[in-house]
Amino acid sequence: MTRIFLNGCCGRMGRAISAMALESDDFEVVAGADIVNNNGFAYPVFESLDKCDVDFDAIIDFSNAKGVPSVIDAALSLNKPLVCCTTGLDEATLAKLQDASAKIAVFKSANMSLGINVLIGLVKQAAKTLYPGFDIEILEAHHRRKLDAPSGTAMMIADAINESCNNELEYVYERHSRMQARGDKEMGISAIRGGNIVGEHEVYFISDEETVKISHSAKTRDAFARGALAAAKYIQDKKPGMYNMDDMIAGAFDKED
């Protein structure tokens, strides 16, 4: 049984994780934190992680980018592994996570879905095969309440593609201010916000003769909740270091029957 502290427990993802853990024999959310305490859960909800007086095995953070530095500080103080699922982190916070990984296990992924991480493997292979003969564009869509744009997942996809293209590509965010023809080494990244779209990502490889499109659509938030719980179980006994979905997926394939 992996005991979870859930930061951001009253948000949409927090509720999804709580509901999934409740139905599982492998996980239990034993405490949480949120700035708004209106959850009605059986576990206690604190103002912040550093106020928690309940023991747990790992932290899952699905909150707001501005609050992540304080979560990192509390994780270090408590010497607890941290699964950081919050997106839109600035460079200073990312550096702080990296520094923290010298003392605790840190799991960081912009998207906790197994499917999206399979997509990343596919687009990396496609980029190696098709670039520079094909133009590359990324389109992402999310619900109207999402704060960051482009999404952290779109940037994760873009970085994976760029790495496969020798980091030659220039990121172009929308095109309304660029009154010029598309450059050969541009990669466009566009965002749509509306309604209750959980998360959709499409990667286009476009030539004069054909178009290859690789896409992923999350139907419910359970895809991310399942990944977050699996990550918490994965790192609860890990040594200090920075871990990601590639590590967890590789570990699953390495298991003996």
What pLDDT digit, counting tens, does each position of 121-161 carry? Answer: 899 999 999 999 999 999 999 999 998 899 989 999 999 99
Is the pLDDT reported for residue 253 higher than 50?
Answer: no
Is the separation of the CB atoms in 243 and 107 below 8 Å?
yes
Percent of the chain with pLDDT over 70: 96
The pLDDT value given to residue 39: 63
Q: Any idea what the Cα angle at residue 111 is, between residues 110 and 117, rounded to 5°?
A: 115
Is the separation of the CB atoms in 232 and 75 below 8 Å?
no
Residue intervals of the chain classified under CATH 3.40.50.720 are 2-108+221-254
135 backbone dihedrals φ, ψ, rounded to 5°: -75, 150
CA–CA separation, 73 vs 234, rounded Å?
21
Whole-model pTM? Answer: 0.76
Q: Class of the 2-108+221-254 domain?
A: alpha beta
pLDDT tens for 107-117 read 998 788 888 98
Beta pairing, strands 135-142 & 199-206: antiparallel
Residue intervals of the chain classified under CATH 3.30.360.10 are 114-218
* 3-class SS of residue 216: strand
pLDDT tens for 54-108 read 999 999 999 989 999 999 999 999 999 999 999 889 999 999 999 999 999 999 9
| Residues annotated catalytic, as ranges | 142, 146
Q: Class of the 114-218 domain?
A: alpha beta
